[in-house]
Amino acid sequence: MSELVDELKTLIIEVLNLEDITPEDIIADESLFGEGLGLDSIDALELGLALQKKYNISIDAENKETKSHFASVNSLAKFVSDSRA
């Protein structure tokens, strides 16, 4: 799982052009949106697209649980690993 967490941090930095941020700067259990890293709704779409491409998983924008999957890197890692299983 920690390998996946690191991979996701790198993915976030790459697809969202976070030029001044390193993987170490992203705290795995801290909020990605609003407070914490400070990503916005367009980032959520971009990240969703990147996850679908890279891990071949489907994300349902209508599903209420989707928002909680995107809360932090840890929750994303759990979502990706569950979806792949």
Reference 14, options 41, 71, 54; nearest CA is 54
Asked if residue 54 binds other proteins (CB under 8 A), the reply is: no
Residue type at 20 in one-letter notation: D
List 2, 17, 56, 58, residue binding other proteins (CB under 8 A) = 17
Find the part of the chain contacting other proteins (CB under 8 A) among 14-22, 26-34, 54-62, 64-72.
Answer: 14-22
For the record, the structure tokens of 1 come out as 């799982």
Q: What are phi and psi of 39, to 5 degrees?
A: -75, 160
The distance of closest approach from Cβ of residue 85 to other proteins in the complex, given in angstroms and rounded to an integer, is 24
What is the contact surface with other proteins in residues (CB under 8 A)? 16-21, 38, 42-43, 45-46, 49, 52-53
